[in-house]
A and B are shown apart, each in its own frame.
Chain A
Amino acid sequence: MAEFDERVEELGSLEAIYPEIRIDHETCFATLELAVTPSTPLLVRFVPDKSPTAASPTYAQATVNAHVEHDVKLSHLPSLILQVLLPPSYPVDAPPKVLLSADHAWLRKEKLDELEVEAAKVWEEYGRCQILFAYIDFLQQAAERAFDIDQSAEGCLVLPASAEKTLVAFDEATELAVFNTGHYDCGICLEPKKGLACYKMKRCGHVFCLQCLQDFYNNAIMEGDVAVIRCLDPTCGVDPSGKKKRKRERTLHPRELLAMRIEEPVVRRYVEMKRKKKLEADKNTVWCPRTWCQGPAKSANYVPLPTDLTEYIASDDENSDNDAETRHDSTATTPPKKDPASGLDVDRLAVCEKCSLAFCRVCYMGWHGPFIRCFPRNAGDLTVEERASYNYIRRHTSPCPSCGSPTQKIHGCNHMTCFQCGSHFCYLCGAWLNKENPYIHFNTTGRECYQRLFDLEQGDEAAELLQGEEGREAGERFGGIRRFEMMALEVAREADERELAEMAGEDGEGEVDEATQRQRELRAAAWDVVVAEPIVVGLAQVQLNPPPQAPDPQPQPQPQARAPPPQRARRNPFPVRPGVGGAADAVRRHERAAAALPPRRRQAPHAALDDDDRFRGEIQRFLRMARDDTEDAWDSDELDEDDGRLQR
């Protein structure tokens, strides 16, 4: 029998203790992997610098990198690999030869050397005997203390950022493997379950069985109860100091729900509901004006949901009161994309994220470009100053025909050049002018601006001042192109009033009528000042003095409402009171009139009557549109076809 070898004996007993050890009995060489699971998770700082591990980074370096370095706490680190060669003279005359290494080079060379040297020390200490077990035990204890790395100058392990992915993945995988082998009592079904059938909450570590979690969350999401999508442990979210609840318990990240194997559409519904709730709670959210859409406008604060829900960026309520390590979620660090051009308050452009309609977030009209002055549709939303400036703009400016910028002339002729876009236009009527020969506009006979190049030379404000009492009138003589706007508004207002008066005066019609009549006349008189343009007079004449062939049958059922006071007839451009009921009534009247006609007379004048009513109808339509601010869609050519009664 061969000589008794202490080395073989020692390796044999090690094999019994560590079944995973690999031993070459010939050469007395052994390899053993020692798991590194520090009792308190090790703080690891990943620094983007190329080789901060080579030399310990100085304080300056650390501060320079402060904005990019990344701290992570790891509970599991790659194993420490111990290789031992027992020389023939071991254990009496020579210490074991040890070589230590670690995957991904996360332990520094100096540290490994230090640990290696310890083998000889232990051998001396123990009086030169079999010390492998003692040494392994020493290593394991050192590993539990994370090799005292947290006692070093940096207070943490510093590694290049390139190592982060592998180390974090290793940590997670090991964690999961350890978890899966365990057994847990689910607090919901009160059954013991295998780790594989359970899920551990990321933030708080509470464990429940997958079946219960799925049942609960699926049910809650189906019922639309977003707030309960949180950890189910009763102690979670309760302040340890008292019974006070935190303001808002954090809801779960969709990533976790997916990890619980809850189906993607369900998780998506959850995230969508969460987002919608936040959008609805946010007073700044602008909603699409299309009634069939009503989607929210795109906003930098609420990015659309990513196709991959694990990439979902949890919004503030989940991260605000968070502990440092979860905030360093790789997804949470990328801030939502911001449109560099959007200083939200200044920019009025809103784009619906559902139907992509571009609209103005102030007036809710289709997008009108950045230079149009617009105000909230509801006049009640305006402050006094806003209303004043709105009125001023309406009264004293002309919009550029190209870009809409409000333009005010303080001095000079009525040939304007837009300060924004350089378009040439007429200050009086807003017509776009050819810059080659702009003055032709003022030199053509028959044109409304003929010979008016220098009207209001001092500007309309100056005219107002100069003429004192008369100033108001003079000032209002300038209507610019906006006079139509003003007229339309006035007409709309009158129509409203009339409606009200009619409703109020159901019984005592006579008196009310008289009062409103007077009021109206006063207003109309004021309006007449503004409206003195030939084209408008033309309209009015056509409208109010119907051609004789218009077949108003003798027994008119509503004559009194139809004929306005004669002194207004010539000047009022639009049928301020075209008969009670407006367009609809016109149609009705037309029908009645047609019915009242004897059959033989019906044929011939029919066309003329139609024309007249169509014309009136058109005007009514324009007014309606003007009231809704949609008159841009009105095609004035529709009237031009009208047999030349329009002087144009």
Chain B
Amino acid sequence: MAGNKRLMKELAENQSTPPPGCKISLENDDDILLWNVTMTAPSDSIYAGGNFKILIKIPKEYPFKPPVLNFKTKVYHPNVTNDENGSMCLGMLRPDEWKPPNKISDVLKLVRTVLAAPQPDDAVEQGIADQYKNNRKEFEKVAKDWVNKYAK
């Protein structure tokens, strides 16, 4: 499949010059469709100091279908589901907005941007989004708590 060749290429590229704040490896050496990413939160964000494990599941149809993202480290964020999946579905990750030329590194850049600047209007966790909008202090406190608890 054409996607595999591209994926090898992307993997090589990402490992030699990883996107900012990311470390990429394969979950299993023989499965190129499961990527392990360790993302360091931007230092100017409230998540600063946190290291987040993200699992990227790449569909067989890639790059025609978008990859699926799961935060394995719990994170208090309006755009990440607060469950064991830690799913994120934003912008280019949506199936109807995904375009094949997007790369995994683009996705990771987007994730890092969203980590620094949550998008409460596009939230999956409405409660956190409301708190982010109306009670920023409390939100930041919990977010930092979680970073200390889970992401160190």
A interface residues with partner B (beta carbon < 8 Å): 187-191, 208, 211-212, 215-216, 219-220, 227-228, 232-234, 236, 243, 245
Report the interface size class on chain B: 10 to 19
> Would you give the 0/1 interface string for B53-83, flagging 1 where the beta carbon is closer than 8 Å to chain A?
0000000010110000000000000000000
Nearest neighbor of A186 in chain B, beta-carbon distance: B101
> Would you give the 0/1 interface string for B86-99, flagging 1 where the beta carbon is closer than 8 Å to chain A?
00000110001101
A476 to B102, CA, bound (A): 76
Chain A neighbourhood of B137, CB < 8 A: none
Query: Quick one: which of A188, A215, A220, A228 contacts B101, CB cutoff 8 A?
Result: A188
CB pair B2 A234 closer than 8 Å: no
CB pair B2 A211 closer than 8 Å: yes
A211 to B2, CA, bound (A): 9
CB pair A190 B10 closer than 8 Å: yes
Q: List 28 A-B contacts (CB under 8 A).
A: A187-B100, A187-B101, A188-B6, A188-B100, A189-B2, A189-B5, A189-B6, A190-B6, A190-B9, A211-B2, A212-B2, A212-B100, A215-B2, A215-B64, A216-B64, A216-B100, A219-B61, A220-B64, A227-B96, A228-B96, A232-B100, A232-B101, A233-B101, A234-B101, A234-B102, A234-B106, A236-B99, A245-B97
* Listed residue (A189, A211, A216) with the most chain B CB atoms within 10 angstroms of its CB: A189
Known contacts A189-B2, A215-B2, A219-B61, A232 near B99 by CB under 8 Å:
yes
Chain B neighbourhood of A232, CB < 8 A: 99-101
CB pair B61 A188 closer than 8 Å: no
* Listed residue (B63, B91, B96) with the most chain A CB atoms within 10 angstroms of its CB: B63
Nearest neighbor of B5 in chain A, beta-carbon distance: A189
Chain B neighbourhood of A236, CB < 8 A: 99
Shortest Cβ gap from B1 to chain A (Å): 9
Chain A neighbourhood of B9, CB < 8 A: 190
Nearest neighbor of B91 in chain A, beta-carbon distance: A243
A188 to B2, CA, bound (A): 9
Chain A neighbourhood of B61, CB < 8 A: 219
Nearest neighbor of A228 in chain B, beta-carbon distance: B96
* Listed residue (A190, A211, A220) with the most chain B CB atoms within 10 angstroms of its CB: A190
Nearest neighbor of B13 in chain A, beta-carbon distance: A190
Nearest neighbor of B65 in chain A, beta-carbon distance: A219
Shortest Cβ gap from A200 to chain B (Å): 15
A489 to B63, CA, bound (A): 63
Nearest neighbor of A230 in chain B, beta-carbon distance: B99
User: Which residues of B in the span 1-53 have a Cβ within 8 Å of any Cβ on A?
Assistant: 2, 5-6, 9-10
Q: A187-B101, A232-B100, A234-B99 are in contact. List 13 more A-B contacts (CB 8 A).
A: A187-B100, A190-B6, A190-B9, A208-B101, A212-B2, A212-B100, A215-B2, A215-B64, A216-B64, A216-B100, A219-B64, A227-B96, A234-B101
Chain B neighbourhood of A215, CB < 8 A: 2, 64
A245 to B91, CA, bound (A): 10
Rank and list the top 8 A-B pairs by shortest CB-CB distance, nearest first: A187-B101, A188-B100, A234-B99, A232-B99, A190-B6, A232-B100, A190-B9, A216-B64
A420 to B10, CA, bound (A): 78
A243 to B99, CA, bound (A): 15
A228 to B95, CA, bound (A): 10
Shortest Cβ gap from B98 to chain A (Å): 9
Shortest Cβ gap from A185 to chain B (Å): 10
A145 to B126, CA, bound (A): 58
Nearest neighbor of B64 in chain A, beta-carbon distance: A216
Chain B neighbourhood of A220, CB < 8 A: 64
Shortest Cβ gap from A70 to chain B (Å): 34
Chain B neighbourhood of A212, CB < 8 A: 2, 100
A236 to B99, CA, bound (A): 10
A189 to B63, CA, bound (A): 8
A191 to B3, CA, bound (A): 12
A243 to B117, CA, bound (A): 15
Nearest neighbor of B63 in chain A, beta-carbon distance: A188
A219 to B64, CA, bound (A): 9
Chain A neighbourhood of B63, CB < 8 A: 188
Chain B neighbourhood of A227, CB < 8 A: 96
Chain A neighbourhood of B92, CB < 8 A: 234
Shortest Cβ gap from A75 to chain B (Å): 25
Chain A neighbourhood of B5, CB < 8 A: 189, 191
A457 to B9, CA, bound (A): 96
Chain B neighbourhood of A234, CB < 8 A: 92, 99, 101-102, 106
Nearest neighbor of A234 in chain B, beta-carbon distance: B99
Chain A neighbourhood of B106, CB < 8 A: 234
Chain A neighbourhood of B64, CB < 8 A: 215-216, 219-220
Nearest neighbor of B10 in chain A, beta-carbon distance: A190
Shortest Cβ gap from B90 to chain A (Å): 11
Chain B neighbourhood of A233, CB < 8 A: 99, 101
Shortest Cβ gap from B62 to chain A (Å): 11
Shortest Cβ gap from B3 to chain A (Å): 8
Chain A neighbourhood of B2, CB < 8 A: 189, 211-212, 215
Shortest Cβ gap from B15 to chain A (Å): 15
Nearest neighbor of A217 in chain B, beta-carbon distance: B64
Chain A neighbourhood of B91, CB < 8 A: 243
A228 to B91, CA, bound (A): 15
Chain B neighbourhood of A216, CB < 8 A: 64, 100
* Listed residue (B10, B101, B102) with the most chain A CB atoms within 10 angstroms of its CB: B101
Shortest Cβ gap from A501 to chain B (Å): 51
Chain A neighbourhood of B100, CB < 8 A: 187-188, 212, 216, 232
A245 to B100, CA, bound (A): 17
A189 to B61, CA, bound (A): 13
Nearest neighbor of B96 in chain A, beta-carbon distance: A227
Shortest Cβ gap from B87 to chain A (Å): 21
* Listed residue (A219, A228, A233) with the most chain B CB atoms within 10 angstroms of its CB: A228
Chain A neighbourhood of B102, CB < 8 A: 234
Chain A neighbourhood of B6, CB < 8 A: 188-190
* Listed residue (B61, B92, B106) with the most chain A CB atoms within 10 angstroms of its CB: B61
* Listed residue (B5, B91, B99, B106) with the most chain A CB atoms within 10 angstroms of its CB: B99
Shortest Cβ gap from B93 to chain A (Å): 12
